[in-house]
Amino acid sequence: MNRVNKSTPHDTADIIALNEARQCISMLSKPLALISDMIEVGALKVTISGIERLQKQKGLEMTVERLQSTLEEYKSEKGQTEDIAAMFGASVISDMTEV
């Protein structure tokens, strides 16, 4: 109890500044996370379209079902109800898939 009685009050301005900094960091990290997710989904879509193109060109016995299921699992794992492309504009991913 002596320790509580002897302690001095802390400066609230420092705590407020710290909380504001935490909020800024949180706000800045959300778009980065969405961009990262968009890149991963875009890479899967590019891979799927590339395999489909190879199947048509060379007649290879490959399946895209595994990649498509991975894409669906990734979307459901992230809890996304709408396509990531819709969040940032479909042109970004469509540009990526036209490689």
- DSSP secondary structure string for all residues of 3-57: HHHHPPPPPHHHHHHHHHHHHHHHHHHHHHHHHHHHHHHHHHHHHHHHHHHHHHH
**What's the mean pLDDT in 66-94?**
59
Residue 92 placed within a domain: yes
pLDDT at 96 over 80: no
Residue 9 placed within a domain: no
Distances, alpha carbon 31 to alpha carbons 28, 42, 49, in Å: 6, 16, 26
Is there a contact between 96 and 39 (Cβ–Cβ < 8 Å)? no
**What's the mean pLDDT in 44-67?**
66
pLDDT at 97 over 50: no
Which residue segment(s) compose the domain that 85 sits in? 34-99
Number of domains in the chain: 1
Give pLDDT, residue 88. Answer: 47
Task: Give the count of alpha carbons within 13 A of 59, CB side only.
Answer: 0
Residue 25 placed within a domain: no
